[in-house]
Amino acid sequence: MNVEQAYNSWAAQYDTNKNRTRDLEAVGLRATLADVLFEACLEIGCGTGKNTEWLVRKAMHVTAVDLSSEMLERARKKVSSNKVVFQQADITQPWQFATQVYDLVTFSLVLEHILKLDFIFEQTAAALKPGGYVYIGELHPFKQYTGTRARFDTDEGRQEVACYTHHISEFTQIAKKHGLKLIDLNEYFDDGDRTGIPRILTLLLQKV
């Protein structure tokens, strides 16, 4: 099952399953962006709209992009605002959906499904205004090292979605190559227990 098929299949239960990664990333995004001002936002991998709902309250416009038609259908039902344009697209292909320049590009739990980050960061930098921000919230690579990965259960058994591990330095070095400077990095832990392995990594980058 490829990533698109997997999320089409997962969509019906994505919002209702117990999923600590989904929920803790929402906390990370809201905390990281609480004091960041933006008018135009490009949300990459919006899924069922978990973060679109929050972003649209702060923005004048959100372009929300996802590969999966089933995930997008749920997002469209959840977020009824004329400030949002939903687009189905594969972000590993040229970003024709980026129809303007943005103040903020967000990635929530999507880059783990992308093998090559270089093209993604190149397209991100091109889509941003100077001084614009990039938010990344991912399953922490330390958590991936222990075997945690995107998965869901179906009547046919457990389904695992193709995932790749990106080390923290991979994010920061490729960002630097494309003129995106690291301005904040944080880690989120289950139940706030900082003696454990962090579940979520967040990065805030700025186009210099």
Contact residues toward ligand SAM (CB under 6 A) are 3, 7, 22, 25, 45-47, 50-51, 66-68, 71, 90-92, 108-110, 113, 150
Query: What is the torsional sign of CA 94, 99, 103, 107?
Result: negative
Pick 18 or 130: Cβ nearer ligand SAM: 18
Q: In this complex, which beta carbon is closest to ligand SAM, that of residue 40 or of residue 97?
A: 97
**What is the rounded distance in angstroms from the CA atom of residue 81 to the CA atom of residue 52?**
10
Q: Which is nearer to ligand SAM, 13 or 181 (CB)?
A: 13
Least spacing, CB of residue 112 vs ligand SAM, in Å: 8
Nearer to ligand SAM, 67 or 105 (CB): 67
| Rounded least distance, CB 79 to ligand SAM, Å | 12
Residue 44 or 205 with smaller CB distance to ligand SAM: 44
Closest CB 206 distance from ligand SAM, rounded Å:
21
Measured from each CB, the residue nearest to ligand SAM is: 47
Least separation in angstroms between residue 171's CB and ligand SAM is 17
Q: How far is the CB of 165 from ligand SAM (least distance, A)?
A: 15
What's the closest the beta carbon of residue 130 comes to ligand SAM, in angstroms?
A: 26
Residue 130: other Cβ atoms inside 10 A: 9
Q: Per-residue DSSP letters for the chain?
A: --HHHHHHHHHHHHTTS--HHHHHHHHHHHHHHTT---SEEEEES-TTSTTHHHHHHH-SEEEEEES-HHHHHHHHHH---TTEEEEE--TTS--TT--S-EEEEEEES-GGG-S-HHHHHHHHHHHEEEEEEEEEEEE-HHHHHTT---EEEETTEEEE-------HHHHHHHHHHTTEEEEEEEEE-GGG-TTS---EEEEEEEE-
Q: Hey, what amino acid is at 26?
A: A
> Nearer Cβ to ligand SAM, position 51 or 206?
51
